[in-house]
Amino acid sequence: MVTDLITVLWAQRSSSSDAEKNYVYLTIGVPDVSAKSLKLDLTPTKLTFTGTSDSKKTTYHVELEFYEEIDPSSSKTHHTAANIQMVLRKKDLKEEYWPRLLKDSKKAHFLRTDFDKVGFHHAKWIKILTQD
């Protein structure tokens, strides 16, 4: 379920032996959503996001049911003025990539591949997200 215009970008890495290389990148494009107005609920099978843009007076909402389970306790979230950036650790170590992000095979109009994360840029992005 998606309300208003949200863009969700995603990319992934897979490894059968290294949990640090077994993750999904997720970026929820929601400009000007303050930390106090956002609600993010991450479970092993689902992500629910709701947030209100202070300047646009718009409420955004998206629910994503994942293709396979992730590990919420090992996942990272970074909130900026333009988006919510996440690194979601896949629960199972597998060499195979997920064929899609969502359990439902129906095409989601708001979901796109994040080609900036598919290439060599991913190392810099992970470093930003994992800084304490």
CA-CA-CA-CA dihedral for 92, 97, 99, 102, to nearest 10 = 50
The answer to whether domain 2-130 has CATH 2.60.40.790 is: yes
The answer to whether 102 and 67 are in contact (CB under 8 A) is: yes
Backbone CA torsion sign across 118, 30, 72, 65: negative
For residue 120, what pLDDT is reported? 47
State the Cα–Cα distance between residues 98 and 25, nearest whole angstrom.
Answer: 12
As a whole number of Å, the CA-based R_g of the chain is 14
Write the DSSP symbol of residue 108. Answer: P
Q: How sure is the predictor about 76, in pLDDT bands with cuts at 50, 70 and 90?
A: very high
**Across the chain, what does the average pLDDT equal?**
86
Q: Does the reported pTM lie above 0.85?
A: no
Q: How sure is the predictor about 103, in pLDDT bands with cuts at 50, 70 and 90?
A: very high
Could you identify the residue written with the tokens 């994992």?
A: 130
Dump pLDDT digits (tens) for 30-56.
988 988 999 999 999 999 999 998 888
Dump pLDDT digits (tens) for 15-27.
888 888 899 999 9
Domain extent listing, the chain? 2-130
State the Cα–Cα distance between residues 102 and 12, nearest whole angstrom.
Answer: 13
Determine whether 100 is exposed, middle or buried from the number of CB atoms within 10 Å of its CB (0-12, 13-18, 19+).
middle
For residue 122, what pLDDT is reported? 53
Could you identify the residue written with the tokens 């979601």?
A: 88
